[in-house]
């Protein structure tokens, strides 16, 4: 029996409260999303592109389009919750959990790159790399259910 593991990345973002008394108070945002576009997991026999050389990232891996999708989602979330999020990563503000599969971990990382661009002196750790490292926690596959 073949089991298909569907990678779901869970982002639970606890955001700081702001004074929007006429709109209510935002206390918690939880975002659950699936990984971005990926290559086939295991092509069926006779598939014209059965050879892995057709898939430069490898079978089941996140594609360039999938990375772009997740980055854009992170940018959307930044725009949507910009008034509630700090400019730079804070472990007290956001916790990211993913299944322990390459495509889901990479999806979380691409999403976070869009959500937290290095805009401040604190988050800009390198002039050559426009990226802010943020931890992604992964549950071992055996315990991920």
Backbone angles phi, psi at 110, to 5 degrees: -65, -40
3, part of any domain: no
112, part of any domain: yes
37, part of any domain: yes
How many structural domains comprise the chain? Answer: 1
22, part of any domain: yes
Model confidence pLDDT, tens digit, residues 2-52? 333 333 333 333 333 344 456 678 888 899 899 999 988 877 777 777 777
Residue 39 has what pLDDT? 84
49, part of any domain: yes
CATH number of the domain to which 122 belongs = 3.40.50.1240
Find the domain containing 55 and state its range: 8-143
19, part of any domain: yes
Residue 1 has what pLDDT? 30
45, part of any domain: yes
Instruction: Give the span between the Cα atoms of 132 and 109, in whole angstroms.
Output: 10
Model confidence pLDDT, tens digit, residues 76-109? 999 999 999 988 899 999 999 999 999 999 999 9
Whether 83 and 90 have beta carbons less than 8 Å apart is answered as no
1, part of any domain: no
């Amino acid at each position: 029996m073949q089991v298909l593991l569907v990678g779901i990345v869970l982002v639970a973002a606890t955001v700081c409260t702001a004074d929007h008394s006429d709109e209510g108070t935002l206390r918690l945002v939880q975002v659950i999303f699936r990984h971005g576009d990926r290559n086939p997991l295991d092509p069926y026999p006779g598939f014209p592109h059965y050879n892995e050389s057709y898939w430069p990232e490898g079978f089941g891996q996140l594609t360039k389009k999938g990375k772009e999708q997740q980055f854009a989602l992170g940018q959307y979330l930044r725009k949507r919750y910009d008034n509630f999020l700090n400019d730079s990563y804070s472990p007290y503000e956001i916790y990211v959990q993913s299944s322990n599969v390459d495509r889901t971990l990479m999806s979380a990382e691409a999403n976070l790159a869009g959500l937290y661009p290095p805009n401040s002196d604190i988050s800009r750790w390198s002039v050559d790399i426009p990226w802010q490292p943020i931890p992604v926690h992964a549950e071992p596959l055996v315990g991920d259910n």
